[in-house]
Structures are given as structure tokens and as C-alpha cells.
């Protein structure tokens, strides 16, 4: 199993191109099930989760091709993928695939919308929390689908097709909003989704669906109106830049010091997180190329943060922020409100010398003068990259095990950091 070895103490200087967002690319790929025509997606990141979803879609009969990069195009510009689901050959999403990536459960919406039936495995548990599918099933029932559970599978059917309806989620769910929004595009009549997720990835999916012929209003607010249409067509759409990758590298620069421009980003996608970095003493300015992140010698101030759905502080940046503030001058607090088990990185940060006290869903972090390199183990995607940030500032050598988690969400991480002066390398198994 691959490992990553880091020798800490090097400032980061230069530029880092930001990849397309994984959390936007996955639902966009699934949307290809809604049409028999070609959906072309640009700026798709080369990640393990994307590769797995290609396999899952292929199981349903989706063909895909990859366009080569144009002359002079950046090596980090992302792939252009063409998806064509001319014929859905199988409406079953099997356990051996769905169990490896929860987002694959979202195929239930497009499959029922287009084929009027789906048999999708329950995704099971997850390292950062249970994340039940109740909201998904509630939403599909709101569109007239009949739901049955059988031997670990969800059997969803709508023999006459889905019908528009009013769906109100008990609490905000990004995945359920994606799923119901896709399903409603082909439902008869109007659908209203209340207490909808407002994340940029929801807006990106809506923009693509509108290009495909869907009638959607209100994406980005808590109420989305969708007027169903008979069919959707193909289109070309570019995946928005990854706000979590942007925040992660911003925090890496803030932790190590230095001066780095994050290229091709949009500040509006993560303004709350940027505001927190400014409170901590980091200088951030917008340039013609992206965001300049700068910290040269000044100490880090403590912060108090509570994770929340967009536009609040993202739970997917909580672990990275914790790694950063282990070096702050004072005591910080982080309260996690999204997932019930997302502090597993605390024990590994403690191995590097961090001073962190847990009280339920609140972590109190007292800054220390230095971290010391040590062997650590990644427990999930965002936790693993928090250990990278800690390793970049720790004295000596840090070895991170189980880095396959990183490959799920960060494209060319070692290359991007080493190009800015980090001493980081992958040790192949």
C-alpha cells in the first residue's frame, strides 16, 4: 500500500492550479443517465472516485470517451469526457460497486426518471458517519415512486413515470437534493424542493441540466422549482473549480508560510473559509489568475469555527483547519455539526504533538510551538490531507499510511506541493 513521506519545514512559494471539483463532477456524470444524447464534461479531475463512477455508469450501459488535451493546454486542466447513455442496459446498481462510493447511490433518481425502475444497493456505513438514505427515499416517494427494501437493495418503481410533487427535507442534504433534482427534470408537472441544499455543486448541476433542456429555478436557494419535460438532450459543460481543494492548499500555505497563487479559483465558492483564514492572520488577495495566499513570518491567531451547510464553513475543510491551528498562538475551537464521527484525525495529529481536547462534537485546540514528525495513518479523505498539512510544518519526517484516501479527492497532490518547494514524495508499495 502506498505511503507519502514528508520532510517538514519548507515554505511554499509559486502557483498551484486548482482542479475541477470532484463533488460537482460526480453528479454531473450521473446526469448522463437522463438522456440518450452525448453529455460532454470539461475540466473533470483525474481521481479514483471518478474512475470508479465510470465503471458504475458503464454497468448501466453508459459509453464514455476521453478527449486529448489541446496543444499548450495545462497538464492540470482536467480531462474532457464524453458520456452517452443511448440505451440503459441494466437498472441494477450492485453492492460491490455502490459500497465503495456512496455517491453512486444517486443513480436511483435518473434511472427511475428515465426507465421507471431501479434496483440500487444500500450503500452501508461510512467512516465519517452513517449518512442514511432516508432523505433520498422520502424525496423519490414525493415524486410518486414506490419504494421497497429487499435483501439490502432499494427497489424503486414508477410504472407510469414520476409525477411532480412537493418534497421537503427534514434537514439539508446535498446528495438528496442532487438526486431529487435530477429525477424531477423528467417528472410530469412541477416539483418544489424545500429546505434544499445551496452548495455551489447544486448550482453547477442545475446549470448543466438547464443546458440539457431542463426547466429549473431557484438553485442556490433553499427552494427549487422544477417543471418536468418529456426528454433532455446532450450538451457541453465545464466542471467548476474545486472549493475544497482551494481551501486545502490555502491552509497549507497559511501553515507553512510563503506566497502562493491558487490559479483558476473563485472566491465566492468558499468565502466563509477565506474569512476564517484572514481572521487567523493570513493575507488573501484576488488577482487576474486567482487567489494569492501570503504569510511571511507573522504568527497565527486562534479562531472559533462551527461547520455548517453552504454558505457556512464547510465540514470538508474542518480537518485541514484543525491541522493549521495546531500552530496558532492561543486556544481555538471547532464545533462539527454535519457528521457525528469526523474527528478521527485528532488521534493522528496528537501523534505529531498537537494539543487537542474533545468534548462531544467540539474540539479545543491549543497551539503548540512545534510539531514533530512521526508515522501516522489516514482515516478518511479530508483527514488524510490534514496530516499532509501537519507534516509540512512538523520538524523532521512524517510518513502517512493508507493514502489511497487522498487519491479519491486530490489530483496530483505531491506534484503540486513539490512544485512550490515542499519536500514530499510517494513511496510505492
Question: 355 a known binding residue?
Answer: no
Q: Quick one: how far is CA 216 from the chain centroid?
A: 23
DSSP string covering 233-254, please?
A: --EEEEPPB-HHHHHHHHHHHH
Sign of CA dihedral 171, 159, 157, 229: negative
- The answer to whether the bond into 35 is cis (omega within 30° of 0) is no
Question: 59 a known binding residue?
Answer: no
Question: 342 a known binding residue?
Answer: no
Question: 69 a known binding residue?
Answer: no
- The C-alpha cell at 210 is 438547464
- In order of 105, 185, 355, the CA distances from 209 in angstroms are 19, 8, 47
- In order of 139, 250, 397, the CA distances from 376 in angstroms are 41, 22, 11
- In order of 95, 100, 163, the CA distances from 152 in angstroms are 8, 15, 26
Separation CA 248–CA 149 (nearest Å): 39
- Is 328:304 a contact under the CB 8 Å cutoff? no
- The C-alpha cell at 6 is 514528508
Task: Convert 180-229 into a string of H (helix), E (strand) and C (coil).
Answer: HHHHHCCCECEEEEECCCCCHHHHHHHHHHHHCCCEEECECECEEEEECC
Provide the annotated active-site residues: 126
Helix (H, G, I), strand (E, B) or coil at 151: coil
Question: 372 a known binding residue?
Answer: no
- In order of 53, 60, 120, 428, the CA distances from 93 in angstroms are 11, 8, 5, 32
Residue 326 phi, psi (nearest 5): -60, -20
Q: Where is the binding site for phosphoenolpyruvate, in residues?
A: 22-23
Q: Where is the binding site, in residues?
A: 22-23, 102, 316, 338
Q: Where is the binding site for UDP-N-acetyl-alpha-D-glucosamine, in residues?
A: 102, 316, 338
Amino acid at each position: 500500500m502506498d505511503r507519502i513521506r514528508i520532510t517538514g519545514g519548507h515554505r511554499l512559494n509559486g502557483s498551484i492550479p486548482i482542479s475541477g471539483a470532484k463533488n460537482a463532477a460526480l453528479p454531473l456524470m450521473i446526469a448522463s443517465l437522463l438522456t440518450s444524447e452525448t453529455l460532454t464534461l470539461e475540466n473533470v479531475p483525474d481521481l479514483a472516485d471518478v474512475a470508479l463512477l465510470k465503471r458504475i455508469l458503464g454497468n448501466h450501459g453508459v459509453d464514455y470517451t476521453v478527449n486529448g488535451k489541446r496543444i499548450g493546454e495545462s497538464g492540470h486542466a482536467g480531462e474532457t469526457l464524453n458520456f452517452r447513455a443511448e440505451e440503459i442496459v441494466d437498472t441494477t446498481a450492485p453492492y460491490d460497486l455502490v459500497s465503495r462510493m456512496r455517491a453512486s447511490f444517486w443513480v436511483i433518481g435518473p434511472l427511475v426518471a428515465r426507465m421507471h425502475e431501479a434496483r440500487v444497493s444500500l450503500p452501508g456505513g461510512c467512516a465519517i458517519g452513517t449518512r442514511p438514505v432516508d432523505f433520498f427515499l422520502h424525496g423519490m416517494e414525493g415524486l410518486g415512486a414506490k419504494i421497497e427494501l429487499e435483501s439490502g437493495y432499494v427497489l424503486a418503481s414508477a410504472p407510469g413515470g414520476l409525477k411532480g410533487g412537493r418534497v421537503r427535507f427534514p434537514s439539508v442534504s446535498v446528495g438528496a437534493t442532487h438526486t431529487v433534482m435530477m429525477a424531477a427534470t423528467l417528472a410530469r408537472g412541477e416539483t418544489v424542493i424545500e429546505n434544499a441544499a445551496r452548495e455551489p455543486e447544486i448550482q453547477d448541476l442545475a446549470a448543466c441540466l438547464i443546458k440539457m433542456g431542463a426547466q429549473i429555478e431557484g438553485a442556490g436557494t433553499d427552494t427549487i422549482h422544477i417543471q418536468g419535460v418529456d426528454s433532455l438532450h446532450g450538451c457541453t459543460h465545464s466542471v467548476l473549480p474545486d472549493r475544497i481543494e482551494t481551501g486545502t492548499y490555502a491552509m497549507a500555505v497559511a501553515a507553512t508560510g510563503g506566497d502562493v497563487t491558487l490559479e483558476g479559483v473563485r472566491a465566492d465558492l468558499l468565502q466563509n473559509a477565506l474569512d476564517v483564514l484572514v481572521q487567523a492572520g493570513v493575507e488573501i488577495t484576488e488577482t487576474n489568475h486567482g487567489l494569492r495566499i501570503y504569510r511571511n513570518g507573522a504568527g497565527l491567531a486562534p479562531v472559533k469555527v462551527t461547520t455548517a451547510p453552504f454558505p457556512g464553513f464547510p465540514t470538508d475543510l474542518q480537518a485541514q483547519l484543525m491541522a493549521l491551528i495546531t500552530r496558532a498562538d492561543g486556544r481555538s475551537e471547532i464545533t462539527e455539526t454535519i457528521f457525528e464521527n469526523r474527528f478521527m484525525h485528532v488521534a493522528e495529529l496528537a501523534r505529531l504533538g498537537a494539543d487537542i481536547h474533545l468534548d462531544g462534537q467540539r474540539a479545543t485546540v491549543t497551539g503548540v510551538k512545534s510539531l514533530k514528525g512521526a508515522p501516522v495513518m489516514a482515516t478518511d479523505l479530508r483527514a488524510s490531507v490534514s496530516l499532509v498539512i501537519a507534516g509540512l510544518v512538523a520538524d523532521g519526517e512524517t510518513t502517512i499510511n493508507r493514502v489511497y484516501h487522498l487519491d479519491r479527492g486530490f489530483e496530483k497532490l505531491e506534484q503540486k506541493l513539490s512544485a512550490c518547494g515542499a519536500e514530499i514524495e510517494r513511496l510505492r508499495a
